[in-house]
Amino acid sequence: MTFRTQFEKELEELKLSLIKMGDLVIKNIHLSLHSFIDMNTDLADKIIKDDKLVNQLEYDIEKECMRIILREQPVAKDLRLITSVLKMITDLERIGDHAADISKLTIFMEKNNKPFVVKQVHKMADASEDMIKMALESFVNQDQTIALKVIESDDIVDDYFTEVQKSVADAIRQNNIDADYAIYLMMVAKYLERIGDHAVNIAEWVIFSILGHHRN
């Protein structure tokens, strides 16, 4: 096996580790929302514990990146890719934190007898998850077009957030929602909005890995 072949194998393994971390945080986002909607504290507790797995993956990937940089001394393009991975795992770790934060809200609320369903919250979660998936896909395929779609999709998540705000405000005026639940529901929506922002960050680092300059 030549030096370059071995190096490319290491880079592919790095990408696979990143995908594994991404899949875990996407799953945790999905389940954390369900834990809140259903007031399922057992599920919420599991997600909070699983966040340690996300943190461990971040540590393992960071360690591997540094090992590759020190041992292989990669050329500019490869170094950009590895640097991008280091930046992306930070955003993935923060996304994992937000999933845990949503689960903590479930535990704080305990069993609420007056849940209020806002369909846009589910749409926010779906859109945010799709953004993360696309961002990771754009990285694996080094596809700038997909990365740009992720950035554009942030407006969709922001629009859903505005709709959630309006729905909750209307429900408060009509006395159709418990005050504490309204506050926590808006916090959930805010976390989902931030998750969308982190997906945009990942997409921007993908573009950096391809072009050599950061979008901002």
pLDDT of residue 1: 53
Check pLDDT > 90 for residue 113: no
CB contact at 8 A, 81 and 209:
yes
pLDDT at residue 215, rounded to an integer: 63
Per-residue model confidence as pLDDT tens digits over 114-127 = 667 788 999 999 99
pLDDT one-digit tens code per residue, 149-200: 999 999 999 999 999 999 999 999 999 888 888 999 999 999 999 999 999 9
DSSP-assigned letters across all residues of 111-169: S-S-----HHHHHHHHHHHHHHHHHHHHHHTT-HHHHHHHHHHHHHHHHHHHHHHHHHH
Residue 112's pLDDT is 61
Structural domains of the chain, with CATH: 3-211 (1.20.58.220)
Rounded (10°) angle between helices 119-140 and 144-173:
170
For the four alpha carbons of 205, 139, 120 and 115, in that order, the dihedral sign comes to: negative
Q: Please tell me the predicted confidence (pLDDT) of residue 82.
A: 93
Nearest Cα neighbor of 99 from 193, 29, 8 is 29
Mean pLDDT of the chain, nearest integer: 91
Which residues, other chains included, contact 115 with Cβ-Cβ below 8 Å and sequence gap of 6+?
37, 39, 181
Please report the pLDDT score of residue 57 as a whole number: 97
pTM for the structure as a whole: 0.92
